Amino acid sequence: MNKSLSTFDILGLGFMTFAFFLGAGNIIFPPMTGFLAGEHLTSAMVGFLLTGVGLPLVTLVAAALAGGGLPVMGRYLPPVVVTVMATAIFIIIGPAFAAPRTGLVAYEMSLKPFLTNPDQSTLTLYTIGFFGLVLLLSLNQGRLLDAVGKVLTPILLLLLIGLALAVFISPQGTQPPVSEVYLTAPFVKGFIEGYNTMDTFAALIFGMFILDVLRDKGVTDGRAQSRYLMIAALIAAVGLGFVYVSLFILGGTSLGVADSATTGAEIISAYVLSLFGPAGLWILAAIVSLACLTTAVGLVSACADYFYRLTHKLSYRTWVVINALACMLVANVGLDTLITVSVPVLVTCYPVAVALVLATYLRPLMRAPVLAYRLIMSVALVFGILDGLHAVGLNMSLVSWLPLFDIGMAWVIPTAIATAIGLAMPASVRAVKCEG
């Protein structure tokens, strides 16, 4: 028998979804973008919000409409392609970028502000301790921190709300001058900066989990599941939007407070110190470090569980050790370097995720969905790779004539054309059937 959720349960589901996306690492990007955008803050912020909030929202809604996350949304693709996509997502949100970033954000905001001359050895010792603790906790699949995480997310949110109100009521600095990278196309630059949240990738995975939660609560009707997931996604989007906008304004009013900052973590720490003094900085350090720890345990546990189920050759505990060690090694490159290295990868992969979401929405209009999906995804991948190579800094003069190539968006028009062709394909071309 299908059950209905109470208003309280719906709000709880929405806040749970919000908590999934509100990683401590995500709060470092809006301040830095706001600081660099200067007078173009609004344009950059709108671009960032489209990818940082809008894309995860529409991805969760697409998952709701499809009745599941990545495996269901990708059902018209070869199974091996879906497996490769899932593996790539888990690597990106796991040992390659997101998980190591939690340790670096914790270091930048909980230890570095209190050091006189921090160096590489300090970072190395910190990451060994941080990911050593993550390793120990993840061996128990994060159960020890589950209750703590449920407490920390509301505390972190309250801290961010207090910081937001203080920023609006008593800004500590003035607007910085616009940096060169935001002079010509601030909207597009902000749009691409939003890739750093990696939340669209996460939404492809979270969609499955949230639907599982609804089934556990007795919601078995497909339409009811979709409706509740959409409401949860809207609640999460409103929460994320509020946090990001306030942090953008914080970064956009930090001239004179954090002039020499190179990361958003440094800007937030300097701003909190200016607003609340050393006591505020200590509170921020404690909450962010614990929030980063719970996020890291969740990511390492999820990745270890995925690779264990994928291979069945190594135990879950072995995968935990491999992931934790990989995170520790990657984290030692430093936050600046990690963000710089991640950009070309995200520029390459994000178009594929967007193409899958677009195809999911347009599926009812497709008469040959198998070929249409494969065409749209293939085109998005090829041109995403070109944008990624350009982001690396390679000489791409042979393809520089492509529309929007100079701003890292060469995939947009070809993917739109491929989508139009996919929609126009007649049913008679359904010769290719999706096996498995």
Local confidence pLDDT in tens for the 436 residues of the chain? 567 888 888 888 888 888 778 776 688 899 999 999 999 999 999 999 999 999 999 999 998 888 888 889 999 999 999 999 999 999 998 999 999 999 999 999 889 988 888 889 999 999 999 999 999 888 875 555 555 556 667 777 788 788 888 888 888 889 999 999 899 889 999 999 999 999 999 898 888 888 888 888 888 888 888 889 889 899 989 989 998 999 999 999 999 998 888 888 889 989 988 888 888 889 888 888 887 888 888 889 889 989 998 988 899 999 999 999 999 999 999 888 998 899 999 999 999 999 999 999 999 999 999 999 999 999 999 999 999 999 998 888 899 999 999 988 999 999 999 999 999 998 876 544 444 4
Residues forming beta bridges with residue 174, ordered by sequence position:
255
Angle separating helix axes 264-311 and 316-331, nearest 10 degrees: 150
Angle separating helix axes 55-66 and 222-252, nearest 10 degrees: 170
Residues forming beta bridges with residue 255, ordered by sequence position:
174
Maximum distance among all alpha carbons in the chain? 70
d(CA 106, CA 93): 17
d(CA 195, CA 192): 5
Contact 202, 93 (CB under 8 A): yes
H-helix segments, 217-263? 222-252
Model pTM? Answer: 0.88
Q: Which residue has the tokens 């990696």?
A: 198
Give one DSSP letter per residue of 318-348, joined into a string: HHHHHHHHHHHHHHTT-HHHHHHHHHHHHHH
**Predicted local distance difference test score (pLDDT) of residue 379:** 97
d(CA 365, CA 369): 9
Contact 105, 265 (CB under 8 A): yes
Tokens of 62: 């697409």
**Predicted local distance difference test score (pLDDT) of residue 435:** 43
d(CA 390, CA 405): 8
Contact 44, 34 (CB under 8 A): yes
Tokens of 317: 């505990």
d(CA 332, CA 340): 14
d(CA 267, CA 250): 8
H-helix segments, 254-334? 264-311, 316-331
d(CA 184, CA 114): 38
**Predicted local distance difference test score (pLDDT) of residue 413:** 96
Q: pLDDT (tens digit, 9 = 90+) per residue, 101-132?
A: 999 999 998 899 888 888 899 999 999 999 99
Q: pLDDT (tens digit, 9 = 90+) per residue, 269-310?
A: 899 888 888 888 898 888 888 878 888 888 898 899 899 989
Contact 111, 126 (CB under 8 A): yes
Compute how many other C-beta atoms are within 10 angstroms of the C-beta atom of residue 349.
23
